Amino acid sequence: MTDSTGAAPAPPRADPRLVAAIVASALFMQNLDSSAVMTALPAMARDLGEEPARLGVAITSYLVALTVFIPLSGWVADRLGAKRVFMGAITLFTLASLLCARATGLPEMVGARVLQGLGGAMMVPVARLLLLRQVRKEEMLSAMAWLTMPALLGPISGPPLGGFLTDAFGWRSVFLINLPIGALGLVLVAWKIPPAPPADPGPPDRAGMLLIGLALALLMFGLETVGRGVMPAGLPEAGLLAGLLVGWAAVRHCRRARRPAVDFSLLRIPSFHQAAIVGSLFRTGAGVTPFLVPMLLQVGFGHSASEAGMVSFATALGALAMKPIVRPILRRFGFRTVITAGALLAGASIAVCAAFSAAWPLPAIFAVLALGGLFRSLQFTALNTLAFADVPQQRLSAATSFFGTLQQLSPALGVVLATATLEASAALAGRHALSVGDFAAGFLVGGALVAASAPFFARLPPDTGAAVSGHRVAG
């Protein structure tokens, strides 16, 4: 159908809040899966005959797959249409969840988690892209809050639901819960999200994607296996060295390519640089907590999966409570002050978890975790919004791919950092089994890394992101 001039009418602009609420169903499924799996990890380890710390590879393999394939997501979304790619990603993630539930050994679990990661790589960045293309600059902070609010239901319900399902029906039910959620998400996207017509983004940077994917895979292989005796001597170190060399080649290539797989020129935008690079330091340190807390409660203190889940969800509950007041806080104090102070407060809230012992009542642990969730939620929302505050509309695809890669790599590094700290602490004490003191070391290392990002954030100009936050600098 055409109008009186013979031109096709422009597609109607959808309500950003409706788009955010619907695409958040994908984020809900992913976050529910991630947080529920953390709670079910000790039971999975017992059933599969693995040490709990070593089963961290089931988490890192998923996160690495996310990271490796995210650089491709922007190009695929432009080439095939964001809505079509989004629906395909939900389908793949849901089917991979079924394969996870049917796994009988660690190799099968890792393979299924890699498939899940491929689906998530296409799902989460494209969900953000669908939303960002519907909003104006002044609507961005509100839209991002709408996007993250429903997605927080995943982390909130994940730990208690994962604990209940694990105790009542076994850990496999943790993955099966994704099937009805994925089906509902597909129906809502098909019904309410307006179509995004394909575009011609040009040929993909195949060499760049290959180099980046190979570098990330080699680095994560080396980090996951070094010092654990699970690979022949020297192989993990060789993987790390090869990963660094391939990574150097990938950066060199992307800086010269016309349409690079990762557009490093985006780092010339100060707000994007701080949110992406320095923010990764924060996200890595914060990534130790979701892994350490449920394992400490079960392995260290002897609580059931259900009890651990009910306590672990305190972090997400605190995060949800913070969301409605993020906007007025940013408007009053501005991005620089908020993320600098937020890094210090969040780092302290993680480090204080080192004091947990079996003598602590569960309500006290719950309160500490909820307070930490408040600080980390403020930081995550501020960083996720600041990253795109000054990015031009025509570069959003490249920015969402780049930021999404770092955003997913950081939690993987956090899990690696946590497992390495646990095993190093036990080895230094001459033990094979984990003790409560090993977990304390993990919390202290994570908290210190989070706090280390604060001096970098303090270097930002006072008016950074003012167009989005509405903060007015005096004078």
**262 pLDDT exceeds 80?**
yes
Per-domain boundaries in the chain:
16-204+261-469
CA distances for 212 relative to 252, 292, 342, 348, 361, angstroms: 11, 29, 31, 34, 46
> Mean pLDDT lowest for which of 174-178, 266-270, 328-332, 406-410?
406-410
Report which of residues 93 and 78 the model is more confident about: 93
Least Cα distance to 147 among 158, 133, 157 occurs for: 133
In CATH, what is the architecture of 16-204+261-469? Answer: Up-down Bundle (1.20)
**Residue 286 tokens, joined:** 């914060």
| Candidate ranges 63-67, 217-221, 286-290; pick with highest mean pLDDT | 286-290
Instruction: Note the pLDDT of residue 228.
Output: 58
Span 325-374, pLDDT tens digits: 888 999 899 899 999 999 999 999 999 999 999 899 999 999 999 999 88
Q: Which residue has the tokens 């509100």?
A: 142
Band (pLDDT 50/70/90 cuts) for residue 188 is confident
Least Cα distance to 444 among 367, 314, 353 occurs for: 353
Which amino acid makes up residue 356? F
Instruction: Note the pLDDT of residue 45.
Output: 83
Span 411-462, pLDDT tens digits: 778 888 888 898 888 888 888 778 888 999 999 999 999 999 999 999 988 8
DSSP, collapsed to helix, strand or coil, labels residue 372 as helix
Least Cα distance to 113 among 209, 212, 217, 33 occurs for: 33
